[in-house]
Amino acid sequence: MTGGVRERRDQGAAGPSGSGTGSAAPEPIVSLRGVSKSFPGVRAVQDASLDILPGEVHALVGENGAGKSTLMKVLAGVYRKDAGRVLYKGKEVEIPTPRAAQQLGISIIHQDLSLMPHLTVAQNVFIGRERGGLFNLLVNDRDINRRTQQLLALLHLKMDPRTKVSSLTVAAQQLVEITRALSFHSEVLIMDEPTAALAEAEIEELFHIIRQLGEKGVGIVYISHRLHELKQISDRITVMRDGRTIETVPTREASIDQVIRMMVGREIFQASPQVLEREAPEVVLEVRNLRRGKAIKDVSFTLRRGEILGVAGLMGAGRTEVMRAVFGADPPDSGEIFIRGKRVHVKSPRDAVRIGLGYLSEDRKRYGLSLGMDVENNLVLSAFKKFLGLLGWVRRAATRDTAARFIDLLAIKTTGPQQKVKNLSGGNQQKVVVGKWLAADTEILIFDEPTRGIDVGAKSEIYRLMNDLTRQGKSIIMISSELPEILRLSHRIVVMSEGRITAELDAAQATEETIMRYATVRSGGSQSLHAGESAP
Amino acid sequence: MKQVSLGEIAAGTARKESRLHSAAARKFLAFGGLIGLVIVFSLASPYFLTFDNVVGILLATTVNGILGLGATFVIITAGIDLSVGTVMTLSAVMMGVLISNWGLPIPVGILGGMATGMLAGLINGVTISKMKVPPFVATLGVMMAARGLSLVISGSKPIYFTGTPVVRGLTMDSLVGALIPRLDVPNAVFFLFGAAIMASLILGKTVLGRYAFAIGSNEEATRLSGVNVDVWKAAVYALCGAFSGLAGVVMGSRLNSAQPALGAGYELDAIAAVVIGGTSLSGGEGTILGTIIGAFVMSVLINGLRILSVPQEWQLVVTGGIVIAAVYADVLRRRKQ
């Protein structure tokens, strides 16, 4: 009797895909079926399905905002799905917390580093699992140090488990994240842009580790924007677009062009950069020998009227630091700044605004907007002086007109000037920031990751807007980590690595490969390697 | 093509940071300041380094020091607790009610006092972690409520422990003095050091301490690591409350009474001690030893200025300046890094 019941249950668990140890179709470790997840105002994932097979490297690609990270965060217990099913070895499971995911054997390396910088390497690796002795209230540092040492040895890493994470470079911190993910002995390992901060050699080594894990039967989900990388490492590719899973194809049968076509899927702003009106328009901004601590090492560049200067580089290369220094937010140690040939001293953002510089932060919610205020007040905020009458009285009619003008000009989708900015979509918030600077008669706009967290359609509008601005004679510096964006929009591109400008490229000649090569030039690291080689 | 191993990268690119530059340096700064103060005052007045005066300083540090211990945990999580002073008073009043009004055994009174503090801390913690009320506001509310409750419960009158001399003896007798006649250091001092050792062990050796650092360092990352942040945050505030309760017991014992009107303002002294001790208000960093040194800096300062006949009003002004100077020194040190 009981035998029969068990038999039937086994059949049920095996599911339609069939079980057995045959090499033809291994049973997926995890299957996502029709998963949806919405946030206020955004349908991040809609009806997405995905199988993760043991031992495969499954690449998940799509444009920013396509829903890759969100889908994986649902699987890792960070978000709770609104609809759909998650099957673990054929059985439906709920994954309400990160811990539940860990217990199922699903671990994730998040896109942005999620480490505790004040803790040591070992403490980070074993956070949540460091207990031992006295009713499990004590932490056993000796034990976690030893186990971390073993894991590090497995990965051939020479790192002291007792080092504080804050004293490691971004690349080394990334390795700590990988070590932590491996420490769970997971069956499914999700890597969200693991190579974003790594150099070529480091990426090679990471791939070596990934292949080893694959041989042990670990199913790996690999999210990356670097399509060439995927060709090298993945077995299958799933493309996501606008929150949906579009298609899953075996990597060897898919060309990169084909994948890109599936990713984009719709008409997107493709205009090549506007040709500059004159051969060499006047230089509006020149920065010479800018230095600030370890972040900025002797940076010089120029910006011409009507030009978009793309600033490329990896995370932590010092791009934002340079622009913040130019803008006076973090005054540099030394260096000169010239506006239209005249030396200026920018000691604070106030000075910068006065001479016509505008900075659009990558974190617009924190630095660019007063979210609780309405569209009108945000638009006129930095030009408030213009609207003051007698005794500091605000001339409402004037602010209303200006707001209406910019809402119209920038095609901001809003219910009206009185709508709270926090209720706008990301793209429209970005437009409000742009409008704010335009209202203040800004000539030079510094865009720091202008399309981060903005969906594809709105992105295209932002591109068009930037293009229009340059046609009106504004000059733009654009920091972006998305190479296609840099290549598509810039007239000229400077590439940064470790606080230095390593290349200045003409947009017509630059490719993703050349940019990446210069972005991964390591000044300090390569020197020490050479020294090691030449030593007897 | 040369093969570079990850190991070289990890080892080669790790920024060199001598340990002197971190927590140790901050403690050294505070400790150096303390030594400096002691030298200045002992040169200025021969009375300063006498046995009686040193015992006086130690005794004056006990309550603020114990409050500072709890506050250290909270501040390491990047939180703040404004209620430690009035919760201390409430705990003392509860002890008074249990022992003097209800005639319960003294140990029950002591445990009751500490439990009161812990409960108040737990209310802080749950309000902050579950109801998502910012720590400043949550503990401000509890601070006011605790003050009111102390007055209500006691009828706004002090509760004396005159019927139970053991209560006073608890902190003001000297066990050491009984063994070594000339060295009659009151027990209260050992309460402080005992509590400090306990706090140090909790911070350094238990998961509670570890998660306090983790939460203060990167709360979201800690949550994503599968740590139940809400529970541990509440526990940190409860622990802080328990230390406030202990401070209330010591206070009641020292004054031989529970003074319901006392307590407001103590929270700021405690926070000042923590900050002088090098614990960062932005979280993730801090030590118990630093807090103890910070508490001593404050009481040495007050004591020394008093000996030099500086009016009490000016003592406050100088203390305020020292707090700012201590944090500014730390800001300078960080900027250099």
Please state, in angstroms and rounded to a whole number, the distance separating the CA atoms of residues A314 and B250. 57
CB contact under 8 A, B10 and A175: yes
- Beta-carbon separation of B13 and A169 below 8 A: yes
pLDDT at B8: 46
From chain A, pick out residues whose CB is under 8 angstroms from the CB of B2. 529, 533
Distance of CA A10 to the CA centre of its chain: 43
Strand partners, A188: A106, A219
Name the DSSP letter for residue A364.
I
Host H or E run for residue A337: strand A334-339
Answer whether B238's CB lies under 8 Å from B112's CB: no
Q: Which of B20, B77, B224 to mutate to test the interface with A (most CBs of A within 10 A)?
A: B224
Put simply, the answer to whether A202 touches B6 (Cβ < 8 Å) is yes
pLDDT at A330: 86
Half-sphere exposure of B72 (CA within 13 A, CB side): 33
Chain A residues with CB under 8 Å of B10 CB are: 157-159, 168, 171-172, 175
Phi, psi of A240 (to 5 degrees): -115, 145
Output the pLDDT for position A280. 67
Q: Best of B3, B8, B9 to disrupt the A interface by mutation (most A CBs within 10 Å)?
A: B9
Q: Do B207 and A169 count as a contact with CB atoms less than 8 A apart?
A: no
CA distance A309 to chain B (A): 30
- Selected residue of B225, B229, B335 to mutate for chain A interface (largest A Cβ count, 10 A): B225
Kindly tell me the sign of the dihedral angle through the C-alpha atoms of A459, A464, A470, A474. negative
Q: Residues B114, B124: contact at Cβ < 8 Å? A: no
Q: What average pLDDT does the segment A82-95 reach?
A: 90
Instruction: Name the band, by pLDDT with cuts 50, 70 and 90, for residue A535.
Output: very low
Q: Indicate yes or no: CB of A117 within 8 angstroms of CB of B4.
A: no
In a domain, B281, yes or no: yes
pLDDT at A531: 31
Secondary structure class of B46 (helix, strand, coil) = coil
Chain B residues in contact with A139 by the CB 8 A cut-off are 205-207, 209-210
B220, closest residue in chain A (CA to CA): A114
Nearest to B9 among A99, A138, A202 (CB): A202
Please list every residue in chain A whose beta carbon sits closer than 8 Å to the beta carbon of residue B209: 139
Alpha helices in chain B (DSSP H): 6-13, 23-44, 51-76, 84-96, 106-129, 135-154, 165-172, 175-179, 187-205, 207-217, 219-224, 229-255, 266-276, 288-307, 312-336
By C-alpha distance, which of A235, A225, A274 is closest to A56? Answer: A235
| Smallest CA–CA distance from A77 into chain B, residue | B224
Q: How far is C-alpha A135 from the geometric centre of its chain's CA atoms?
A: 42
From the centroid of its chain, how far is CA A230? 17
With a cut of 70, say whether residue A523 has pLDDT above it: no
* Number of domains observed in the structure of chain B: 1
CB neighbour class for B202 (10 Å; exposed up to 12, middle 13-18, buried from 19): buried
CA angle A109–A110–A112, rounded 5-degree value: 135
Number of H helices, E strands in chain A: 18, 20
Pairing of β A91-93 and β A106-109 = unpaired
Q: Which of A111-120, A436-445, B5-14, B113-122 has the lowest mean pLDDT?
A: B5-14
Angle value at C-alpha A156, between A155 and A160, nearest 5 degrees: 95
Residue pair A320/A362 in contact (Cβ under 8 Å)? The answer is yes
Sheet containing A219-223, strands listed edge to edge, beginning at the edge strand earlier in sequence: A106-109, A188-192, A219-223, A57-61, A236-241, A244-250
Give yes or no for a contact between A328 and A352, defined as CB atoms under 8 angstroms apart: yes
Of A102, A110, A127, the CB nearest to B214: A127
pLDDT in single tens digits along all 337 residues of chain B: 334 444 444 443 444 444 444 556 666 777 888 999 999 999 999 999 999 999 999 999 999 999 999 999 999 999 999 999 999 999 999 999 999 999 999 999 999 999 999 999 999 999 999 999 999 999 999 999 999 999 999 999 999 998 888 888 888 888 888 888 888 889 999 999 999 999 999 999 899 999 999 999 999 889 888 888 999 999 999 999 999 999 999 999 999 999 999 888 899 999 999 998 888 888 898 999 999 999 999 999 999 999 999 998 998 898 889 888 888 877 777 666 5
Share of chain A above pLDDT 70, in %: 84
Contact list, B208 vs chain A (CB under 8 Å): 137
pLDDT tops 70 at residue A270: no
What count of other Cβ atoms lies within 10 Å of the Cβ of residue A408?
9
Q: How many CA atoms lie within 13 A of A329 on its CB side?
A: 13
Q: Kindly list the residues from chain B whose CB atom is less than 8 angstroms away from the CB atom of residue A110.
A: 224
DSSP string, A463-490: HHHHHHHHHTT-EEEEE-S-HHHHHHH-
Check which CATH number belongs to the domain holding B130 and give it: 1.10.3470
| H, E, C per residue of A184-247 | CCCCEEEEECCCCCCCHHHHHHHHHHHHHHHHCCCEEEEECCCHHHHHHHCCEEEEEECCEEEE
Query: What whole-number distance in Å separates Cα of residue A452 and Cα of residue A384?
Result: 28
Is A30 within 8 Å of A86 (Cβ atoms)?
A: yes
Round to whole Å and give the CA distance between A174 and A178.
Answer: 6
CB contact under 8 A, A116 and B14: no
Of A97, A130, A169, the CB nearest to B207: A130
Report residue A161 CA to chain centroid gap: 28
Contact A116 B13 (CB under 8 A): no
Least Cα separation, residue B5 to chain A (angstroms): 7
Please report which helix (H) or strand (E) contains residue A506, including its range: strand A500-506
The phi and psi torsions of B275 (rounded to 5 degrees) equal -70, -45
Nearest to A175 among B6, B209, B227 (CB): B6
Other beta carbons less than 10 A from residue B335's beta carbon: 8
Cα–Cα distance between A68 and A62 in angstroms, integer? Answer: 7
**Of A118, A174, A101, A168, the residue nearest B210 (C-alpha):** A118
For range A349-353, the mean pLDDT: 85
Contact A533 B2 (CB under 8 A): yes
Residue contact B10–A157, C-beta within 8 A: yes
Q: What is the pLDDT of residue B336?
A: 61
Instruction: Please give the span between the terminal C-alpha atoms of chain B, in angstroms, as a whole number.
Output: 37
Nearest partner of A50 among A23, A78, A30, A77, judged by Cα: A30
- Give the distance from residue A157's alpha carbon to the nearest chain B alpha carbon, in angstroms: 4
pLDDT value for B26: 62
Which stretches does DSSP call E strand in A261-318?
283-292, 296-304, 308-313
* CB-defined contacts A:B, below 8 A: 130
Pairing of strands A334-339, A308-313: unpaired
Q: How far is A109 from chain B (nearest CA, A)?
A: 10
CATH number of A283-372+442-525: 3.40.50.300
Structural domain containing residue B326: 36-41+48-336
CB contact under 8 A, A159 and B14: yes
Q: Which of A413, A424, A408 is nearest to A364 (CA)?
A: A424
Q: Is the ipTM of this complex over 0.85?
A: no
Check residue A364 and give its pLDDT: 67
H or E stretch at A260: helix A256-264
The CATH homologous superfamily for domain A25-264 is: P-loop containing nucleotide triphosphate hydrolases (3.40.50.300)
Which CA distances in Å does A494 have to A301, A504, A510? 8, 4, 10
Type and span of the H or E element at A50: strand A42-52
* Contact at CB, B7 and A158, closer than 8 angstroms: yes
**CA dist., res. A309 & res. A486, Å (int):** 9
In one letter, which amino acid is B47?
Y
- The verdict on residue B249 lying in a domain is yes
Q: What amino acid is encoded at A467 in this protein? A: N
Q: Do A116 and B213 touch (CB under 8 A)?
A: yes
Q: Give chain B's length.
A: 337
Q: Where are the domains of chain A?
A: 25-264, 283-372+442-525
Nearest to B226 among A128, A163, A169 (CB): A128
Q: Which of B220, B240, B200 is CA-nearest to residue B79? A: B240
Collect all residues of chain A within an 8 Å Cβ-Cβ radius of residue B7: 156-159
pLDDT tens digits for range A5-51? 333 333 333 334 333 344 456 789 999 999 999 877 677 888 999 99
pLDDT mean over A438-448: 86
Residue at B15 is within a domain: no
Q: How far apart, in whole angstroms, are the C-alpha atoms of residue A454 and residue A449?
A: 10
CA distance B297 to chain A (A): 26
Q: What tokens appear for A373 in the block?
A: 């205020």
- Which among A127, A134, A180, A520 is the top mutation candidate for probing chain B, defined by the most B β-carbons within 10 Å of its own β-carbon? A127
Encoding tokens for residue B161?
Answer: 């422990």
Residue B91's Cβ-side half-sphere holds a number of Cα atoms within 13 Å equal to 36
- Chain B positions in Cβ-Cβ contact with residue A132 (cut-off 8 Å): none
CB distance B210–A110 less than 8 Å?
no
Q: What is the pLDDT of residue B337?
A: 55
Class of residue A297 by CB neighbours under 10 A (exposed 0-12, middle 13-18, buried 19+): middle
Compare CB distances from B6 to A97, A113, A155 and report the shortest one's residue: A155
Q: How many CB atoms are located within 10 Å of the residue B19 CB?
A: 10
User: Closest partner residue to B226 among A98, A139, A156, by Cβ?
Assistant: A98
Q: Please, what's the b/e burial string for A450-468 (b: 16 or more CB within 10 A of its CB; e: otherwise)?
A: bbbbbbbebbbbbbebbbe
Preferred mutation among A111, A124, A148, A167 to probe B, highest tally of B CBs within 10 A: A167
- Relative to beta strand A500-506, strand A83-88 is unpaired
**Interchain pair B6, A157: CB under 8 A:** yes
Across the interface, whether the CB atoms of A78 and B224 are under 8 A apart is answered yes
- Residue range A468-521, pLDDT digits in tens: 888 888 899 999 877 778 888 888 999 998 888 999 988 888 887 788 778 777
According to the model, what pLDDT value does residue B23 have?
Answer: 55
Residue A138 to residue B207, Cβ atoms within 8 A = yes
Alpha-carbon distance A502 to A515, whole Å? 10
Name, in order, each residue with C-beta under 8 angstroms of A255's C-beta and a sequence gap of 6 or more: none
More reliable by pLDDT, A250 or A172: A250
- Say if B237 falls within a structural domain: yes
Residue A377 has pLDDT above 80, yes or no: yes
Mean per-residue pLDDT over chain A, rounded = 80
Do the Cβ atoms of A114 and B221 come within 8 Å? Answer: yes
Chain B residues contacting A, CB < 8 Å? 2-17, 22, 205-210, 213-214, 216-218, 220-228, 284-285
Q: Which of A172, A190, A168 is nearest to A109 (CA)?
A: A190
Q: Nearest residue of B to residue A533 by CA position? A: B2
The residue in chain A having the minimum alpha-carbon distance to the alpha carbon of residue B13 is: A169
Taking contacts as CB-CB distances below 8 angstroms, the residues of chain B near A175 are: 6, 9-10
Record: contact B221-A116, CB cut-off 8 A: yes
pLDDT at A355 over 60: yes
Among B122, B113, B11, which residue's Cα sits nearest to residue B74? B122
- Probe site for chain B from A116, A179, A208, A498 (most B CB atoms < 10 A): A116
Q: Do A25-264 and A283-372+442-525 share a fold?
A: yes
**Residue predicted with more confidence, B312 or A385:** B312
